[in-house]
DNA sequence: CATCGATGTTGAG
DNA sequence: TCAACCTCGATGG
């Protein structure tokens, strides 16, 4: 379920609590047992997020690559920090700005598309719950992975091969260098821009929510051919992705309606239904013009747009 | 309690 | 183009 912003947050959590310490790696569920032995007991030396993928480098040159897919999630527990939003979903934007705070009594923290605090722990480490593909355990913290689309151990070349297939990520490649690559890649796609924004080889980290929201924010038809769009339109899309991704990483939520204040902002933070321009709003009035929001499948994913504003 | 659907990707056909 | 992957919150009875 997570789009790029959550993967950056999860990776920061690993960098903070798992980097620089030996990690016991196991597979309670068993499916990852052989791979786990390759990195068991090693120290994590680097944590990287690129788009929706996370890479953890171990001190023997091997990497753990994880893609959460539709319903993958990490459960953290132990002496770890908890993002402000997860502690208090109704907290204000100002509270959220101070990103992380210590969690006091040991608890569970689930990090996927959203973040949720679980019950207090009875002991450490806690028993794995359900199908845990991978468990990473240090003296102070534990991370359990469940339901990932991809989870494998790679050498440096393997990582390079994966990275070579990924388009730019604003937080990895930078706004300027990333934009150059995005313009090159998107500018030659003779496909609908609604497809191109979801293509991870063109731009990394955008999923179904950000795709719909970015197109509305640009007042752009999802069906326009990417290669035929003026360069400054593509450029604006990239700039907006950079902008939205940074908000997402900071707040932990896909806040795509900017500039909200007071009650409207609190509502957007508290309720997913009040958070977006068009995503998941089929048949509801457009927030700008009142036209019913349309929905149709595009390459097997639901596409939402305003037929008037995005004509 | 059963069923549905989801913020994703891969690979078979 | 579609099923499979494999999880779980939301929904309805």
Give SS3 for A222.
coil
| Residue A26 or residue A89, greater confidence | A26
* Domain termination residue (choose one: A162, A191, A207): A162
* Residue A120 shares a structural domain with residue A235: no
* Residue A121 shares a structural domain with residue A193: no
Tell me, yes or no, if A170 is annotated catalytic.
no
Strand B nucleotides in reach of protein CB atoms, 7 A cut-off = 6-10
- Total-model pTM: 0.93
Is 50 exceeded by the pLDDT of residue A241? Answer: yes
Of A16, A46, A219, A301, catalytic: A301
DSSP H or E run through A264? helix A262-270
Residue pair A103/A80 in contact by the 8 Å Cβ criterion: yes
Range in A61-65, A71-75, A117-121, A268-272 with the lowest mean pLDDT: A268-272
Tell me, yes or no, if A16 is annotated catalytic.
no
Residue at A310 is within a domain = no
* Residue A187 shares a structural domain with residue A129: no
In the 8-state DSSP scheme, what is residue A22? B
Which nucleotide is nearest, taking the CA of residue A69 and each C1'?
Answer: B8
CATH number for the domain that contains residue A137: 3.20.190.10
pLDDT recorded at residue A115: 87
* Residue A194 shares a structural domain with residue A141: no
CATH number for the domain that contains residue A200: 1.10.8.50
* Residue A17 shares a structural domain with residue A55: yes
What total number of domains does chain A contain?
2
* Residue A149 shares a structural domain with residue A85: yes
Is 70 exceeded by the pLDDT of residue A159? Answer: yes
What is the rounded CA–CA span in Å between residue A100 and residue A13?
10
Is 90 exceeded by the pLDDT of residue A153? Answer: yes
The answer to whether the C-beta of A69 is closer than 7 A to strand B is yes
């Amino acid at each position: 379920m997570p789009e790029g912003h959550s993967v950056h947050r999860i990776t920061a959590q690993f960098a903070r609590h798992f980097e620089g310490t030996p990690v016991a790696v196991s597979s309670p569920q068993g499916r990852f047992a052989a791979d786990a032995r390759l990195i068991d007991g090693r120290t994590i030396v680097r944590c990287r997020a690129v788009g929706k993928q996370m890479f953890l480098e171990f001190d023997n040159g091997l990497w753990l690559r994880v893609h959460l897919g539709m319903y993958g999630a990490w459960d953290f527990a132990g002496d770890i920090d908890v993002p402000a939003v997860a502690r208090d979903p109704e907290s204000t934007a100002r509270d959220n700005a101070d990103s992380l705070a210590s969690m006091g009594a040991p608890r569970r923290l689930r990090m996927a598309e959203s973040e949720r605090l679980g019950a207090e722990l009875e002991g450490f480490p806690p028993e794995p719950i359900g199908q845990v593909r991978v468990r990473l355990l240090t003296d102070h913290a534990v991370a359990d992975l469940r339901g990932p689309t991809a989870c494998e151990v790679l050498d440096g070349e393997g990582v390079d091969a994966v990275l070579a297939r990924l388009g730019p990520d604003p937080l990895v490649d930078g706004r300027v260098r990333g934009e150059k690559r995005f313009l090159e890649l998107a500018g030659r796609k003779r496909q609908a821009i609604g497809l191109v924004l979801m293509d991870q080889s063109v731009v990394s980290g955008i999923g179904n929510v950000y795709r719909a929201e970015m197109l509305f924010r640009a007042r752009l038809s999802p069906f326009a051919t990417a290669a035929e769009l003026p360069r400054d339109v593509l450029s604006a899309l990239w700039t907006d992705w950079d902008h939205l991704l940074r908000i997402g990483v900071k707040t932990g939520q896909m806040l795509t309606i900017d500039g909200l204040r007071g009650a409207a902002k609190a509502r957007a933070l508290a309720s997913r239904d009040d958070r977006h321009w068009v995503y998941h709003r089929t048949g509801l009035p457009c927030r700008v013009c009142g036209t019913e929001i349309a929905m149709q499948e595009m390459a097997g994913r639901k596409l939402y747009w305003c037929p008037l504003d995005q004509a």
